[in-house]
Structure 1
Amino acid sequence: MASAPQNANLPLFYNDLVPLNSRDHANFKSQSTDKATWLIGQHAVPLTVEEFPQAARHFPIVFSSGDQPVPLALMGLNEGVNVFVDAEGKLTSEVYVPAYVRRYPFMLARLTPDAQELSLCFDPTTDLLGAEVDGAPLFDGEAPSEATKNMLQFCENFEEAGMRTAAFVEELKKHSLLMEGEVAIQQEGNEQPFVYRGFQMVDQAKLREVRGDVLRSWNQSGLLPLLFAHLFSLDLLREIFARQVQLGLGPVVVPQVAPVA
């Protein structure tokens, strides 16, 4: 249901990565768009903890399965389904757009495995950048343009938020608060409910057992409200399911075939 990006070489959305530089991309420009084509068919998008309060108003927030959980905004319950964008990638309703989505086609990456610094890179397969694009220049001579500086700052802020998110997840793991999630949704007209698994969520029973001094420190640090944002957002799972059904993208009921005698 909610799998984190699994490509060992490239993160979700990216088909390739090249470093941005004034030698090869001196005439490149960047254009804005109202079509996030890279979101089409993507049902789960990574989130940073700073985004929980806003994202929780629109999406269920869960954690990917595995030893290195990643917070995810569910934009659909089934693989290949995103109920918030149409076939062209346009948003179909007013929703919060995760920073991970807004960052594309740029990101910070190490040019070599042992590199100490991150470099601003981009996906060369995008149609948002290029010499023929009608948009803001990426360079002013050999110097980065204001648009490039702003994107670099955005990507740096995202990386910092990513580190805080990793620390948040480690705190949950330290107290064994994550458990395998399961939700059963009963659809009218079907005898059996649709059961969704493959994600993690906070175990409320264990949360109630956390010591008072730990809860106090979480409240002071702002971690506790993030936990509640996650838990409250799970009520939206049924709303996402209803959207899928309304769009004709709900799960298919497999007919039970009686065994041949």
Structure 2
Amino acid sequence: MTEMIAPPAAPMFYRELTALDPAVHLGWGLRERPDLAAARAANAVPLGVGEFWHASACYPIVFGLAGATGFPVVITALVEGRNLFVDAQGQWLADTYVPGWLRRYPFWMQPDPDGRNASLWFDPHARQVVPLHEYADARPLFDHQGHPNQALEQVVRFCRQCHADTSQTAAFMRALEQHGLLADRQASMELSPGNTYSLGGFRMIDMQAYHALPDPILAAWVRNGWASLVALHHVSVQQNWERLLALHRSLNG
């Protein structure tokens, strides 16, 4: 990458984006141990439809409010700014599914307008992409000729997978919006005796409206897999609010 390219707008959790360039970052590597401190205050993390199965076992899956934020998310906190799944060292709770948005961090892939190529960026503040002479545990991103090493090939492959899932997620969201299936909701929890907290700012699928869809539409949703997504969303909110409450209580005495 030799010409100057304006960086994309920094996505959620990213402070800044720097283009990954072999001319600049030859001799740099990727640290093995992820640091997710950037998400320590997150109440919710974006989710792709390809992740619903795994995420439904751990979190309530809900949807952002209408507009640019109206994508699926997993709820990660019951109180503003206190992610229950990230510890003080930036490590995610063991044996719990980590959303792809965070597994991709600190990298970000930006497709060109024609969709044929894409540029790769990273957040330098994450301290995950680092000079090899400073961090012996880092995996080299480039070989001595500036060609991608295995570590970078894996990053690119995963970023492309995330981008493809984003397109499928957008199609599902358009269908939900088109049929008016999303309704504003809030969850009220008794965090401790006499201390009730209400969490709002999200939407859920109105199951009565969903089941009232015409048979041809429901049949099409079964064939294309969207009916399974609706079911996973419904199961996740039925079983995981109590799980979050138990986790909150265990961490807060």
Shorter-chain TM range is 0.7 to 0.9
Q: Structure 1 stretches of 5 or more lacking a match?
A: 1-7, 250-261
CA distance in structure 1 between the aligned counterparts of 2:170 and 2:65, rounded to whole angstroms: 15
Measured after TM superposition, the shift of residue 151 of structure 1 is: 0.7
CA distance in structure 2 between the aligned counterparts of 1:144 and 1:93, rounded to whole angstroms: 31
Aligned counterpart, 2:25: 25
- Judging changes above 3 Å, is the alpha-carbon distance between structure 1 residues 34 and 11 closer, same or farther for their aligned structure 2 residues? closer
Residues 226-252 of structure 1, C-alpha deviations (whole Å, 9 max, x = no match): 101011111212321232233228xxx
Amino acid of the structure 2 residue aligned with 1:166:
A
Residues 61-91 of structure 1, C-alpha deviations (whole Å, 9 max, x = no match): 0111132311101111222111122111223
Q: Structure 2 stretches of 5 or more lacking a match?
A: 1-7
Percent of residue pairs bearing the same amino acid type = 29
- Judging changes above 3 Å, is the alpha-carbon distance between structure 1 residues 227 and 106 closer, same or farther for their aligned structure 2 residues? same
Contact 2:61–2:233 (8 Å) recurs in 1:
yes
Contact 1:28–1:133 (8 Å) recurs in 2:
no
Aligned residue runs from structure 1 range 88-237, under 5 A: 88-109=89-110, 117-131=117-131, 132-134=134-136, 135-140=138-143, 141-186=145-190, 189-190=193-194, 193-235=196-238, 236-237=240-241
Contact 1:10–1:16 (8 Å) recurs in 2:
yes
Determine helix, strand or coil for the equivalent of 1:109.
strand
Contact 1:76–1:241 (8 Å) recurs in 2:
no
User: TM-score under structure 1 normalisation?
Assistant: 0.85
Aligned counterpart, 2:4: none
Aligned counterpart, 2:5: none
2:244 aligned with 1:243: no
Determine helix, strand or coil for the equivalent of 2:121.
strand
CA distance in structure 2 between the aligned counterparts of 1:115 and 1:21, rounded to whole angstroms: 21
- Judging changes above 3 Å, is the alpha-carbon distance between structure 1 residues 43 and 187 closer, same or farther for their aligned structure 2 residues? closer
> Could you say what the CA RMSD is over the residues aligned between the two structures, in angstroms?
2.0
Measured after TM superposition, the shift of residue 120 of structure 1 is: 0.8
Farther-moved stretch of structure 1 (83-92 vs 39-48):
83-92
CA distance in structure 1 between the aligned counterparts of 2:25 and 2:114, rounded to whole angstroms: 22
After the TM superposition, which parts of structure 1 deviate over 6 Å for at least 4 consecutive aligned residues?
Answer: none
- Judging changes above 3 Å, is the alpha-carbon distance between structure 1 residues 11 and 187 closer, same or farther for their aligned structure 2 residues? closer
Contact 1:109–1:119 (8 Å) recurs in 2:
yes
CA distance in structure 1 between the aligned counterparts of 2:49 and 2:139, rounded to whole angstroms: 31
